[in-house]
């Protein structure tokens, strides 16, 4: 976060005096050095970066090889102070902007531009005198005295500016004291604009006070040539911004003046929030990173194969996921017929038509791998992780958005919220086009009735409506449904769609067509969404060589699976009880960690050995394990977070030891509450009964054994050497199955979390049977531990950024939308800079972990790794 005050210096005498400034009140000033800068500002043709609320600057400074690349947020001026997001990185000579070494900057550029070309549109030069302001040798602020040179075609402008930018040692009180001194000694004029903003005003020859700011103007310019309601509203706002009155616009646009005045009034209150594409301005890391673009792979201007991704076609995707092409083609035919017939209203072009066709083919692509409720979300993920040949990044994202918005439960009234929740980072122009294409698809999906579709065949313009004939014998019922589903279109274009049966069909006398029976789709049972609470950090100290407690006994290839399961449960249960006393005392946080790990291992064992145990006898005890794990999780999660925060503080310069004190106070309160809940559970009758019942169950190992043959005397595999190979291959398959979701241009954070759980399952299985496998198994366990730790750190960072972001907004330590969110309003700390810096640190950590994930993943995906697994399995049959 950049915090500074900016002043114009209109008088040359004041400029000279500021050049020779040696002291400000009680603050001393260092020796000056001079820097010559040439700043080039880049954006796409449609100003997508500006429409996102930022600008991108590349600075070449005298005496430096390479350039500085900076992304800053627009606006941010209030009460004499500029507060702006700022991201800066050095760009070595020879590298393009898209090759910036800083992950955050590179990712922001890709997300803002969606891979579209960048080009320079403003250049300015400045001579800068740089000095540092100190208070008793403590750096307080940097002082910049600039002579700025602007040029636009035949016009030139030179102006002087003085900046005071706070450093980490300075406070807002320091800034106020400096401002007061400067105003009392010099004739300065407060500047509410950055140099970029002032250069844009000069370039467009605009007055300083206008209806629209730069971002608003960029958004409205993108939308103004669209023919739907948002395009019309944007056009009105642009004309008002240029000085037209509502009365003049009423005559020009044939829109009632009260309607224009109402729009202006709403805009003045809500600003860009009147458009659904720009409402989500509270950027939360967890939303921005639901899907992470793997920018490290290369430049999206190239083809997908050129940057290392497998390309797909619509046909290969349909075949791969088992989707009926016939039904998809019917929907596509209906969509394209509507697109063509209504082209005079929407004004979209050939590229949008192609995207609509693809969206129609692929809208149900997720139906075979997910429940009906999650079909659209999975369809979006498939599209983002399986790049289609010929599509650019912006088109891929647009296609994913269209697919996601196909949820039939959404109406035009809640599409605004739906667009906000997608957080797709597409420009307003692309989102608006997507919304129009969604309107066609929603209608075409209703027109498809099975093996064929009621195709629109003739369009007639009526007063405020369009009449559309349908080529289907029983089109009357379909027409009513289609009219109901056309709500979004009518909202966007203020034009009613009326569907009727084609006259040719009525006259043909073909009335005996059998009504198709409506086939009710069996709702697939969706995967249970188990969001484990925040995982504990690096499990135990690295060098304790704690290969887990399962190594305390030896497994033989001849042992029955039930026998091994009993020994594992018995040992881990004893470990849980052994650490219970320390957990209750709370003096050593590792006691709680060890107790929790023991419970986790028992739950993992239940999955590995489930097929070889009598479920009716085991299940009641598994419920007790789930409750116990839940009771321990809250305290442990807070301990892990606190440890990582304290480690962060230790690496900060002196003077920052108390940066997170307000946060720590909140964490202590939350931990106390979580600990009370945990102790209540450990003291409860439920927990006591669980321990007693499970202990008694463990006392009779013979009850764990299942029959080893059928009634017909067929032998059932039950020995370790007979069943372990299939278990290991199944666990390996669980992990390999993630490759199709992780090796595309985007990767889902949730998918990585599920992979972590799968990796932990294989690692635990290897550890359970370590003594019966080969000597190299220890290396395999280490490899999976590396992958698991990488994913664990990634998950911790993702949750931490979400929690910290919520804390900075609400003062509460709870996830947004959590069932535990309190109605009590808490006070947010007055000086959040330290916590904001920690949030930025965790965000950077998350980006680094995401960017380096492919390396960790590749190690367990090689053919050599599978051979090592096979080698360990062969050792089962060697003489031990």
Structure tokens at 386: 């399986």
Which H or E run contains 621? helix 615-650
Q: What architecture is domain 2-204?
A: Beta Barrel (2.40)
pLDDT, residue 260, reads 94
Give CA separation, 698 vs 483, 567, 609, 702, in Å: 65, 9, 15, 9
Residue 543 has pLDDT above 70, yes or no: no
CA 307 from centre of chain: 22
Give the pLDDT band of residue 413 (cuts 50, 70, 90): low
Give SS3 for 453.
Answer: strand
Mean pLDDT (whole number) for 456-483: 84
| CATH 2.40.320.10 domain range(s) in the chain | 2-204
Give SS3 for 290.
Answer: coil
Q: What is the DSSP letter of 370?
A: S
What pTM value is reported for the model? 0.78
Residue 524 has pLDDT above 50, yes or no: no
pLDDT, residue 868, reads 83
Nearest in space to 323 (alpha carbons), one of 335, 334, 310, 314: 314
- CB of 444 within 8 A of CB of 338? yes
Buried b (16+ CB within 10 A) or exposed e, 381-398: bbbbbbbbeebbbbbbbb
The pLDDT tens digits of the residues spanning 691-721 come to: 999 998 888 877 677 777 767 777 778 888 8
CA dihedral 342, 343, 349, 355 (to 10 degrees): 10
pLDDT, residue 519, reads 35
| CATH 1.10.3210.10 domain range(s) in the chain | 287-450
How high is the mean pLDDT of the chain? Answer: 84
- Distance between CA atoms of residues 875 and 727, nearest Å: 15
Q: Tell me how far apart the 2 most distant CA atoms of the chain are, in Å.
A: 107
Structure tokens at 477: 């019922």
Count of alpha carbons within 13 Å of 276, Cβ hemisphere only?
21
pLDDT, residue 802, reads 87
- Distance between CA atoms of residues 138 and 300, nearest Å: 45
| Secondary structure percentages of the chain, helix, strand, coil, to 5 | 55, 15, 30
Q: 69 - beta bridge partners?
A: 58, 89
Give the pLDDT band of residue 619 (cuts 50, 70, 90): confident
Other beta carbons less than 10 A from residue 442's beta carbon = 24
- Distance between CA atoms of residues 116 and 300, nearest Å: 8
CATH of range 287-450; options 3.30.420.40, 1.10.3210.10, 3.30.420.140, 1.10.357.10:
1.10.3210.10
- Distance between CA atoms of residues 77 and 79, nearest Å: 7
- CB of 68 within 8 A of CB of 91? yes
Name the packing angle between helices 615-650 and 777-810 (round to 10°).
70
Q: Domain 562-697: which topology?
A: CHAD domain (1.40.20)
pLDDT, residue 70, reads 95
Residue 527 has pLDDT above 70, yes or no: no
Give the pLDDT band of residue 371 (cuts 50, 70, 90): low
Structure tokens at 463: 């007063």
Nearest in space to 745 (alpha carbons), one of 357, 431, 394: 394
Structure tokens at 809: 């907004």
- What are the φ/ψ torsions at residue 379 (nearest 5 degrees)? -60, -45
| CATH 1.40.20.10 domain range(s) in the chain | 562-697, 719-880
Class of domain 719-880: mainly alpha
- Distance between CA atoms of residues 504 and 472, nearest Å: 10
In terms of residues, how long is the chain? Answer: 880
Mean pLDDT (whole number) for 610-624: 85
- CB of 473 within 8 A of CB of 455? no
Q: Are strands 496-501 and 465-471 parallel, antiparallel or unpaired?
A: parallel
pLDDT, residue 831, reads 66
Q: Which of 154-168, 355-369, 537-551, 835-849 has the lowest mean pLDDT?
A: 537-551
pLDDT, residue 301, reads 62
Give SS3 for 760.
Answer: helix
């Amino acid at each position: 976060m950049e915090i500074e005050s900016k002043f114009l210096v209109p008088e040359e005498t004041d400029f000279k005096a500021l050049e020779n400034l040696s002291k400000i009140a009680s603050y001393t000033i260092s020796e000056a050095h001079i820097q010559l800068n040439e700043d080039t500002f880049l954006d796409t043709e449609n100003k997508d970066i500006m429409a996102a609320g930022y600008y991108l600057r590349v600075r070449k400074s005298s005496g430096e090889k390479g350039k500085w690349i900076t992304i800053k947020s627009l606006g941010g001026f209030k009460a004499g102070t500029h507060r702006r997001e700022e991201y800066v990185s050095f760009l070595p000579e020879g590298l393009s902007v898209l090759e910036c070494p800083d992950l955050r900057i590179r990712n922001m550029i890709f997300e803002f531009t969606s891979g579209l070309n960048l080009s320079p549109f403003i250049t300015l030069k400045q001579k800068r005198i740089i000095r540092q302001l100190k208070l008793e040798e403590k750096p307080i602020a940097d002082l910049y005295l600039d002579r700025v040179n602007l040029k636009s075609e035949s016009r030139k402008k030179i102006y002087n500016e003085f900046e005071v930018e706070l450093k980490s040692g300075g406070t807002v009180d320091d800034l106020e004291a400096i401002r007061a001194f400067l105003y009392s000694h010099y004739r300065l004029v407060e500047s509410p604009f950055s140099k970029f903003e002032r250069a844009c005003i000069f370039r467009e020859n605009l007055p300083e006070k206008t209806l629209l700011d730069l971002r608003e103007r960029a958004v409205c310019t993108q939308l103004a040539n669209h023919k739907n309601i948002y395009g019309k509203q944007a056009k009105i706002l642009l004309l008002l911004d240029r000085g037209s009155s509502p009365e003049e616009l009423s005559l020009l646009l044939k829109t009632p003046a009260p309607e224009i005045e109402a729009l202006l009034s709403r805009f003045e209150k809500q600003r860009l929030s009147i458009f659904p594409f720009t409402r989500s301005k509270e950027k939360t890391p967890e939303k921005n990173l639901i899907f992470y673009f793997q920018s490290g792979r290369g430049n999206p201007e190239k083809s997908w194969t050129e940057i290392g991704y497998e390309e797909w076609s619509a046909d290969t995707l349909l075949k791969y996921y088992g989707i009926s092409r016939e039904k998809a083609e019917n929907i596509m035919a209906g969509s394209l017929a509507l697109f063509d017939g209504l082209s005079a209203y929407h004004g979209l072009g050939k590229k949008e038509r192609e995207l609509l066709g693809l969206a129609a083919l692929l809208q149900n692509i997720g139906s075979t791998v997910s429940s009906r409720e999650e079909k659209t979300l999975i369809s979006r993920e498939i599209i983002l992780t399986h790049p289609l040949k010929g599509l650019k990044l912006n088109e891929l994202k647009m296609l994913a958005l269209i697919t996601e918005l196909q949820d039939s439960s959404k109406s035009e009234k809640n599409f605004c919220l739906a667009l906000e929740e997608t957080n797709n980072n597409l420009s307003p122009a692309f989102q608006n086009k997507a919304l129009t294409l969604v309107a066609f698809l929603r209608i075409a999906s209703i027109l498809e009735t099975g093996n064929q579709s009621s195709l629109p065949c003739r369009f007639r313009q009526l007063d405020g409506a369009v009449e559309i004939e349908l080529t289907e014998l029983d089109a009357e019922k379909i027409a009513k449904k289609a009219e109901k589903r056309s709500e979004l279109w009518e909202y966007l274009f203020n034009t009613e769609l009326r569907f009727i049966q084609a006259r040719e069909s009525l006259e043909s006398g073909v009335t005996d067509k059998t009504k198709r029976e409506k086939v009710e789709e069996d709702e697939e049972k969706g995967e249970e969404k188990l969001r484990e609470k925040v995982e504990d950090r690096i499990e135990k100290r690295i060098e304790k060589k704690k290969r887990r407690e399962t190594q305390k006994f030896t497994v033989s290839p001849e042992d029955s699976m039930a026998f091994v399961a009993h020994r594992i449960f018995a040992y881990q249960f004893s470990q849980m009880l052994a650490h219970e006393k320390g957990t209750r005392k709370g003096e050593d946080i590792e006691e709680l960690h060890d107790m929790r790990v023991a419970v986790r291992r028992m739950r993992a064992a239940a999955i590995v050995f489930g097929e070889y145990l009598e479920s009716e006898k085991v299940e009641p005890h598994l419920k007790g394990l789930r409750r116990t794990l839940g009771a321990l999780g809250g305290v442990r999660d807070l301990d892990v977070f606190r440890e990582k925060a304290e480690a962060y503080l230790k690496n900060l310069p002196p003077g920052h030891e108390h940066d997170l004190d307000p946060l720590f106070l909140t964490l202590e309160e939350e931990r106390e509450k979580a600990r009370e809940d945990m102790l209540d559970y450990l003291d409860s009758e439920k927990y006591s009964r669980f321990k007693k019942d499970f202990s008694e169950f463990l006392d009779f190992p013979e009850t764990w054994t299942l029959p080893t043959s059928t009634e017909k005397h067929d032998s059932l595999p039950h020995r370790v050497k007979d069943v372990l190979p299939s278990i290991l291959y199944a666990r390996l398959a669980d992990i390999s199955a993630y490759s199709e979701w992780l090796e595309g241009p985007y990767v889902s954070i949730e998918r990585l979390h599920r992979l972590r759980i799968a990796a932990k399952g294989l690692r635990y299985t290897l550890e359970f049977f370590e003594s019966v496998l080969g000597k190299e198994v220890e290396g395999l366990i280490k490899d999976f531990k590396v992958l698991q730790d990488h994913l664990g750190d990634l998950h911790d960072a993702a949750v931490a950024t979400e929690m910290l972001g919520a804390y900075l907004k609400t003062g509460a330590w709870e996830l947004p939308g959590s069932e535990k969110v309190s109605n009590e309003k808490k006070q947010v700390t007055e000086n959040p800079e330290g916590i904001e810096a920690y949030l930025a640190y965790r965000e950077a950590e998350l980006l680094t972990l995401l960017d380096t994930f492919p390396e960790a993943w590749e190690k367990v995906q090689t053919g050599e790794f599978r051979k090592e697994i096979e080698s360990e399995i062969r050792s089962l049959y060697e003489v031990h």
